[in-house]
Structure 1
Amino acid sequence: MQSNRKGQIRTANFGDVAKIAEIHVQCWKETYANILNQEILDQLDAQEKLILWQAITRSLDHQLLVYIEDQKIKGFIDGFLNPENNVAEIRAFYLLQEIQKQGIGREMFQCFYDYVVQKRYQFIRLEVFNKNPSRFFYEKIGAELIGEAELPEFGEGITELIYQWEI
C-alpha cells in the first residue's frame, strides 16, 4: 500500500468491485463522450462490468490497484500478467476527472511498475484509442508507441495505439 498526501493506493479486494464497475462506466462516458458514437456509450452497463471485475478480482493473473481518497475509490489500474511472453498488459487505467492532473495517475502507474519489476517482467504494454487524450500522459511517463490497429467497430478514424515500456 502506498499513500500520498490526499489518499492511498492499495490492492483491490472483492468488496471494491461495485465501485470499480461504476467508475469504469463513468470514465468511459466522460472520456469518450465526443470521441465514440453515443450508441456505444449508451450501451455501457455497470452491472455487466461488475461481473467482469468480480472475475478479475479473483484472478491470480491480474494486479488490480485502487486509489482511495476520503474513504472512496476514485480510480483504478488493472494489469494482466502474462508469464508466457513476459509482458504485463495494462487492461484498464481510469481516474475520475476530479482527481486527474494531480500526479495520482503517475503514482498509480509507479506502484504497478514497481510490482511488475518485482515479478521480473520485461515489458508493460497498454492499448489506447488514438483520440483519447490520456495517450499524451503515457508518452510523458516514457511509453513508446510500438503499433496501431484499425477499430472500425468504434467509428470512423478510431484506431488503437499500442504503447510499451521496457523495464
Structure 2
Amino acid sequence: MIRIATLDDAEQMAKIHVQSWHETYTGIIRQEILDGRSVEDCKQLWQKLIVDQQHRITVYEKDGVVSGFLDGYLNPEQMIAEIRAFYLLKIIHGQGIGRAMFEQFYLSLKPEQHSTLRLGVLNKNPSRFFYEKMGGTAIGEESIPEYGKNIVEIFYQWEIQKIV
C-alpha cells in the first residue's frame, strides 16, 4: 500500500536511500561519494523532511516493510512542484509500484498552486527511461563533475493538467 510517511519510517527510508544509491550508481559515480552516504545521516535527513509541511513524502509498504518512497516538494513560492527523491528497491522494480506512486503524487497537485512538476535524474541512471515513459519532457541538463566523468543531471518536466 502507498501511504504518507511517518517518523517511524525514517530508518527504513534511510536504508532504502543508501541501498538504492549503491544498487544504481556503483561503477558509475565516484566510490567515495557512495561510501560517504550513511544510514544515520540519511535517517536524520528524512526525520527532518517527514515533518516539513512543504514535503509530501509517501512510502510503499507491504507486510509491514517499507521498500520504496517518494519525496514530493511543494514549493510555496513558485508554481513548480518537484520530486526530490524517488527510491524503490530493485526487488520491486517492474511491478507497477513506481508508476502508482508517481501518478498518486502527480494527481495530488492542484494546477492553481503548481502548474509544473520537475525532477532531476543522472544520465546513467536507467530510471530516466521510466520518467520518459511517464511523459516527462527533458528540459535541460547540468554537468556534475564531482560525481565523475561524463555525469550529467537531466531535468524532466510535466505540465499539471486540470482534471475534470
TM class by shorter chain equals: over 0.9
The reply to whether residue 91 of structure 1 matches residue 81 of structure 2 is no
Which stretch of the first structure deviates more once superposed, 80-89 or 139-148?
A: 80-89
TM-score, scaled to structure 1 = 0.93
Pairing 1:110–2:100 present: no
What one-letter code is carried by the residue in structure 2 that aligns with 1:146?
I
TM-score with structure 2 setting the length: 0.94
Q: 1:119 to 1:74 in 2, by over 3 A?
A: farther
Instruction: Give, in angstroms, the shift of residue 85 of structure 1.
Output: 1.4
Q: Which stretch of the first structure deviates more once superposed, 76-85 or 132-141? A: 76-85
Give the distance between the partners of 2:113 and 2:36, measured in 1 at CA: 39
Post-superposition offset of 1:120 = 3.6
Please report the RMSD computed on the Cα atoms of aligned residues, expressed in angstroms: 1.1
Residue 147, structure 1, aligned to residue 140, structure 2: yes
1:56 aligns with 2:38: no
Counterpart residue type for residue 129 of structure 1: L
Residue number in structure 1 paired with 2:60: 67
2:126 aligns with 133
Matched, 1:20 2:13: yes
Percent identity, aligned pairs only, is 51
Determine the structure 2 residue equivalent to 1:5: none
CA distance in 1 between partners of 2:79 and 2:158 (Å) = 12
| Counterpart secondary structure, 1:117 | coil
Work out the CA distance in 1 between the residues paired with 2:138 and 2:57.
Answer: 24
Q: Distance in 2 between matches of 1:119 and 1:21?
A: 33
Return the alpha-carbon distance in structure 2 between the equivalents of residues 147 and 15 of structure 1. Answer: 37
Give unmatched runs, 5+ long, in structure 2: none
Q: 1:118 to 1:89 in 2, by over 3 A?
A: same
Amino acid at match of 1:88: A
Which deviates the most, 117-126 or 146-155?
Answer: 117-126
> Cα 1:125–1:110, aligned 2, differ >3 Å: closer, same or farther?
same
Asked if residue 123 in structure 1 is aligned to residue 123 in structure 2, the reply is no
Query: Does 1:32 find its partner at 2:40?
Result: no
